[in-house]
Amino acid sequence: MRLDIEPDVFTSGDRLSVIHLLGLAVEGQHEWRPSLPAAISAERFATEQAPLFSEFVQQALVEAANPAPAAPAVARISADRLKELVSDLRRPATLIVENRIADGGFVRAVAAALGDHQVVEALSQQPPWLGFSHGGGSGDIPELAADERAGFTVLVRVAVLFDSDRKAASDPGRNQEDKAMKCRDNGVAEVHLLAWRMMENYAPFRVWEHHFAHRPEHVDELRAIEPEQRGYLHLKTWFKGRRCHPPKRVFPAELTLTEEDFAELGPEVVAELRELLAMIHRIL
């Protein structure tokens, strides 16, 4: 997340909180593109209170002369709520999913394939800067959203991803839309409801070729179905009916996917997946 730190944070803010705040920027968990007054104030603070950060702050002072590019989200950091803001920023952002193993693998695969290095890095950190919260199915997600939101005081760095369960393009999916609205009512504004039926519908054909190398005719059959129909199939049932059992981890870690693999699924798939990643950026 982009930090907009007010100059008085470095002059009147809690010293330990300021040090933690600078540490988050130095480590790269959050981005800081300071204004010139903030950079000058930070340089004085670093020189007097935290010489460890002097080199980083001096570089920030140089960058302050250049306009900052647009950012998905900007956190305004003020001295009056500094402790609460730093506490929220130090916590990992949370993406609530129906199944941490299956959906987590999906998000990891999408980020890597679409070249989203920031999300890939956030997931690979130890401890991670972006974590998955397991919903155990969509039924409990609104309540889980409320629980995760309660862990943040000022900056609500929580988002939700879940299946639409739509059986056809004409299906409004009202039940899931109602759950999405409940999440928002519970204080989590960032919700992505998949356009297609479920996460498995977004698995590229190469994924199924990997799992069912012994039954390539079924993957060819799936590939021949038009996206308008294929996107709403219950693929677990579809494959089981052909004596193929999809694994719980649909996206294998050892399989490297590309943007072209996802684009092969349908003309709007990559655009939707980029929207999903954009939502994640707004909580990072």
Q: Which residues pair with 93 in a beta bridge?
A: 130
Which residues in the chain show pLDDT less than 70? none
Look at residue 203 in the predicted model and tell me its pLDDT.
Answer: 98
- Inter-residue contact 173 to 164 (CB < 8 Å): yes
Q: Residue written as tokens 């998949």?
A: 194
- Are the C-beta atoms of 29 and 129 separated by less than 8 Å? yes
To the nearest 10 degrees (0 to 180), the angle between helices 100-113 and 269-283 is 100
Q: CB-based burial of residue 226 (10 Å sphere; 0-12 exposed, 13-18 middle, 19+ buried)?
A: exposed
Task: Provide CB contacts within 8 A for 118, sequence distance 6+.
Answer: 281, 284
Q: From CA 73, how far away is CA 68, in angstroms rounded?
A: 13
- 113-157 pLDDT, tens digit per residue, is 999 999 999 999 999 999 999 877 778 899 999 999 999 999 999
Beta bridge partners of residue 236, listed in sequence order: none
Amino acid identity, position 216: P
Whether residue 257 contacts residue 107, with contact meaning beta carbons closer than 8 Å, is answered with no
Indicate the residue type of 51: P
- pLDDT on residue 173: 81
d(CA 187, CA 204): 34
Distances (CA, A) of 147 to 14, 29, 124, 156: 28, 24, 25, 12
Cis peptide, bond prior to residue 127, ω within 30 of zero: yes
Q: Could you tell me which residues come within 8 angstroms of residue 146 by beta carbon, excluding any fewer than 6 positions away?
A: 186, 187, 188
pLDDT at 187: 98
pLDDT of residue 115: 98
Residue ranges of the chain assigned to CATH 3.40.50: 93-200+254-283
Distance of CA 232 to the CA centre of its chain: 24
Look at residue 4 and give its three-state secondary structure: strand
Give the pLDDT confidence score for residue 165 in this predicted structure: 94
Q: Measuring CA to CA, which residue among 70, 96, 77 is closest to residue 190? A: 96
The CATH number, out of the four listed (2.170.120, 2.60.40, 3.40.720, 3.40.50), of the domain defined by the range 93-200+254-283: 3.40.50
Per the rule left: phi > 0, alpha: psi between -120 and 50, beta: everything else, 28 is: left
DSSP state of 251: S
3-state secondary structure of 144: helix
